[in-house]
Amino acid sequence: MRDEIESHGSALLLEWYDRHAREMPWRVGPTERKAGALPDPYAVWLSEVMLQQTTVAAVREKFLAFTRRWSDVAALAAADDADVMAQWAGLGYYARARNLLKCARVVAETGGFPDTEAGLLTLPGIGPYTAAAIAAIAFDRPATVVDGNVERVMARVFDIRTPLPAAKPELTELAGRLTPQTRPGDHAQAVMDLGATICTPTSPACGICPLMHLCTARAAGIAAELPRKTPKAPKPIRLGVAYVVRREDGAMLLETRPPRGLLGGMLSWPGSDWGDSPTPAPPLNANWTPVDGEVRHTFTHFHLRLALQVTTVPHDAIATRGDFVDKADFRPASLPTVMRKVWNLASSALPPL
């Protein structure tokens, strides 16, 4: 059966993709591609970086906003760091935004994106998956592109019961066997589309899958059970305190977090450390009012719970940390998600001016 999958699987996927490819603002569809249209490497790179750990639905509008503001890699390379970080707000994993700028500046200096996996891997913030995706989709190189959707499709089609992450090398090898020399970019997108729309994590639509007759897990009646995963250890909980300071004229006290670490380079409310027993660290002397409730947010490796303290201070108040942002320039949408949650709770507790 494996020989049959390797012989016919890609052709069946491409035939299906030609009819059912999802329309995305960064994608050149199969009809246009066959007519000679080439994807913009900048658009492919930007979308792939944005899509890491994020859904297509969340990325679509962000991608459009980025490309309206910075239409090519040279424009992005010349952008102010703070503007890019603010535009990125809401996508999470903010190290990606810092690496995005580093990469754009290297590419702008060298005159364009490398067209091979090896060349792409030399760029800041580009790892094996992203290098393979750009090489295949933007330059039609026969690179093996493996994301979560691809792993799921491979595990089911080839009936791989080894749990993830231990199964990753085998699933990558199988995906490589299926990758064709012709139209590898469309093939990569076909497998990802199949995983996103038909071979879904739960309740896969096997009855309309183009690989239904080749899928060995379906034949065994266990497609929905795969891929198996090794149970993850529970995430620890960290505690902290966020301080929301409003001046009498409506200005808000914000600080820029250190360039490295969580939310690096992003605007933030002044706060304590995050841990089991956070040390209070108010940014100025004031009459603080505790806010009922708490902000909860989950990062990759831990759950965060923030207590809130709010205060309103005179115009001449001096803070030991951060800077006051004028009322007209304060934009909650430019804050990272957890800090927007802080504002949503704190704003209801602040008295009217």
Residues designated as active site: 48
Distance CA(225)–CA(20), nearest Å, equals 25
Rounded to the nearest 5°, which phi and psi values hold at 325?
-105, 125
Distance CA(14)–CA(17), nearest Å, equals 5
Two tokens, residue 284: 């100025």
CB distance 297 to 344 below 8 Å: no
Secondary structure percentages of the chain, helix, strand, coil, to 5: 45, 10, 45
Two tokens, residue 339: 């800090």
Neighbours of 137 (CB within 10 A): 29
CB distance 210 to 12 below 8 Å: yes
Rg (C-alpha) for the chain, rounded Å, is 24
- Closest to 146 measured CA to CA, from 163, 133, 159, 162: 133
User: 255 pairs with which residues across the strands?
Assistant: 268
How far CA 298 is from CA of 57, 202, 220, 272, 273, in Å, comes to: 20, 23, 37, 17, 16
User: 310 pairs with which residues across the strands?
Assistant: 244, 289
Q: Report the greatest alpha carbon distance in the chain.
A: 77
CB distance 55 to 64 below 8 Å: no
| Cis amide linkage into residue 128, ω under 30° from 0 | no
User: 240 pairs with which residues across the strands?
Assistant: 306
